[in-house]
Structure 1
Amino acid sequence: MTDARPLGADEAAFMAVVRSGDSARFALITERHRRELQVHCYRMLANYEDAQDLTQETFLRAWNKRESFKGHAALRTWLYRIATNACLDFLDKRNDRTPVPSGLADVGSEVLYLQPYPDRMLPEDPQESVVARETIELAFIVAVQHLPPRQRAVFILRDVLGWPASKAAEALELTVASVTSALQRARVTMREQLPDRRLDWRRPATHELSNDERGVVKLYIDAHERNDLDGLMSLLREDLRFVMLPEAGTSSVTAKDAVDGWVSGGLFQPGYDDWRCITTTFNRMPAAALYRRTPDDPQYRLFTIAVLHVVDGKIAELIGFDATDKPWLDLPPTL
């Protein structure tokens, strides 16, 4: 994320676009940054559809502000600055983009607007810090939502993307002292939200699923397709954390409470007893796409996504997402 010195090829080409006003060349140059900018917006907003919209807003703002680009910073840096401020403007106008009380003592709040991120839309370079698994997993994304928006921006720019304090301050129109103070407060909150996770985001990142994760998701799918409640229960840690989004009030903090809720909702009973599932990944985490067939329907239709956090061969966290009418999930709608 360092500034280009001397003027790089991207910057020189972009400045030529500015002089010519060629919108097609502008799109060609900026498009290569779309995926990483969308991940950045997703970290800020925790919602895939919002991230798509704000990435497009970033490109619109960049086009309208193109003459302000003088090549003093890398084009990439300039685009990140625009994207960050577009997200902050969005958050300033929305009162439904903060965690809400869960009603449970052990689960302080729920992020009802959280959506999973399709792995196919991550930047392709596995060495990029922007795709580090530790900073795209759902627990991290949820934890970041507990930061006030500007503090959130500081934390992402400094600790995730590795920007120096001076560059983050310039991007956010803050003093270096303000950025340093905001980062210190953000780190405290992140430690509170992720007490059992490592917090050094600059260490080498992992990307691949472990054998444990692959095995557990396979068993999870098998239990669903066989309507095996005992088998499903055996995969869950006793202190399982579960939530079904975007529904409010679905959080639970024990496996028994979660399973009781599933059963009372009709799981493995008529209408919810004919399943086909496929293994997938979201947010670089193991996941299962669950397809349900009802008695009057010849096809299995995409119903929910279950994203799993596996610890020592057991499911420690399960976040379910309504998957109906969401083509951006990039899953077949029927089986």
Structure 2
Amino acid sequence: MRGTPPAGDTDPDALQRARGGDGEAFRRLVEPYRRELQVHCYRILGSVQDAEDVLQETLLAAWRGIGDYEGRASLRTWLYRIATNRCLNALRAGARRPPHAAAYRTEIPMPEPSHRREEPSWLEPYPDALIDEIADRLPGPEARYEVRESVSLAFLAALQRLPARQRAVLVLRDVLGFRAAEVAAMLDTTENAVTMALKRARAVLARELPDSGRESTPLPDSPQERRIVDAFSRALQAGDVDAIVAMLRNDAWLTMPPVPLEYQGPDAIGHFLATVALRGGRRYVLIPTRANGQPAFGCYVRDPGTPLLHAHGLLVLTLAGERISALTRFHDNSLLPMFGLPRSLRGV
């Protein structure tokens, strides 16, 4: 992965006015970096809601400190330093792990998982509409592809396995392309410490994301992707477990953050769908959207007694070649408005 290029040189006149207390001048200085800073916080925290909170803290701290900004580093680097340290403070404080989210209580007993994580995965989906604000500014399809790869659910889930400081170092060095000396200054440490942290982080990611030879992911909104997504949508809405299973890779995963239970392989996933998701003839209506550079759906369940469809979370597909390599289900309905999706629908 390569770093996102700076949005441009800082306007000296605007900087001088901002130092003098001109709020509009400050806004013009920081606005080009707002979205990429939010995505940066999201990569480290795994939550778009927490990322927005930390972004607001970052901008407030920058406004209060702009008078002391001496320009030894670029404004972008200075803002990333503030944002990164605010993220690390949030992780240390445990602000992202409220007790009410510690466990998801299912309506019926869950089948025995293929794997059980030691702790919940504090990961939320990120709307593609926000990613596109960054990707569309970058030169060439390769740079835009790299931005989307750096917010893929697989990459973010692997980041969650890293200690907070290693997570920050890897994002700053390998995703954003900052030099070791710049990262050391941001984190008030030495270049050698940055190098060692990066080495350890890369080793963990190599174990968590070993499948470099996997079939390529179809391009977003390509005919290949639409064909797979449409077939999956038809199968799930019809409750056709066999058709869904036939679309899965042999090593496909079903995960449900923050639930620490994971199911791997067509048999385990098919059993889960038949005994939990589609149990008793339950039927869904799927509304297409996109999350983390991947096709996704808002899920709605029919209410037999009314014409309403009630929200039932967000489902994200990870594709590899002509198959589905992962199904990631987010049960939190409060995420839906970020994707422009309602809490309920009239029957369709």
TM-score by length of 1: 0.86
> 1:28-66, CA deviations, whole angstroms, 9 ceiling, x for partnerless residues?
432332110010001101111111111111111111212
Dislocated runs of 4+, deviation >6 Å = 1-4
The answer for the alignment partner of 1:316 in structure 2 is 325
Count of residues paired in the alignment: 319
SS of corresponding position for 2:280 = coil
1:179-190 correspondence runs (5 A) = 179-190=194-205
Gaps of 5+ in 1: 199-204
Name the SS of the counterpart of 2:263 in structure 1. Answer: coil
Aligned to 1:278: 287
Q: Quote the residue 1:301 is aligned against.
A: 310
Q: Distance in 2 between matches of 1:253 and 1:305?
A: 20
User: In the TM superposition, what are the counterparts of 1:226-245 in structure 2 within 5 Å?
Assistant: 226-245=238-257
Distance 1:115 1:133 in 2: 15
What is the Cα deviation at residue 142 of structure 1? 0.9
Distance 1:109 1:266 in 2: 24
1:1-335 matches, within 5 Å, as 8-19=9-20, 21-94=21-94, 111-122=120-131, 123-126=133-136, 127=138, 132-197=147-212, 208-249=220-261, 251-265=262-276, 267=278, 269-270=280-281, 272-273=282-283, 275-326=284-335, 327-335=337-345
1:190-222 deviations in Å (ceiling 9; x for gaps): 111100138xxxxxx997354433221111110
* Separation in structure 1 between the aligned mates of residue 90 and residue 82 of structure 2, nearest angstrom: 12
Contact 2:90 2:96 (8 Å CA) reproduced: no
- Distance 1:163-1:325 versus aligned 2 partners, 3 A rule: closer
Partner-residue secondary structure (3-state), 1:276: strand
- Counterparts of 2:338 and 2:149, CA distance in 1: 23
Which structure would you say has the larger RCO, counting Cα contacts within 8 Å and 6 or more residues apart?
2
Q: CA deviation at 1:2?
A: 9.9
How far apart are 1:159 and its partner, in Å? 0.8
Deviation per residue, 1:259-285 (Å, 9 max, x gap): 222322251534x22x32122210001
Aligned counterparts of 1:91 and 1:260: Cα–Cα separation in 2: 36
Structure-1 separation of matches of 2:321 and 2:157: 22
Q: Distance in 1 between matches of 2:91 and 2:173?
A: 20
SS in 2 for 1:140: helix
Counterpart of 1:263, as a letter, is: A
What is the letter of the counterpart of residue 49 of structure 1?
Answer: Q
Instruction: Compute the displacement of 1:106 (Å).
Output: 5.2
CA contact (8 A) 1:218 1:279 kept: no
- Is the contact made by 1:291 and 1:300 (CA closer than 8 Å) also made in structure 2? yes
Amino acid corresponding to residue 40 of structure 2 in structure 1: H
Gaps of 5+ in 2: 103-111
Cα pair 2:121 2:160 within 8 Å, conserved: no
CA contact (8 A) 1:133 1:206 kept: no
Residue-by-residue CA offset, 1:216-260 (whole Å, 9 max, x unaligned): 1111110122222222222122322111233343x1112222222
SS at match of 1:33: helix
Letter in 1 for 2:220: E
SS at 1:146's partner residue?
coil
> Aligned equivalents of 1:215 and 1:87: distance in 2?
39
8 Å contact from structure 2 (residues 218, 224) kept in 1: no
Superposed CA RMSD: 2.8
Give the match's secondary structure for 1:256. helix
Distance 1:259 1:65 in 2: 55
Counterpart CA distance in 1 for 2:212 and 2:151 is 13
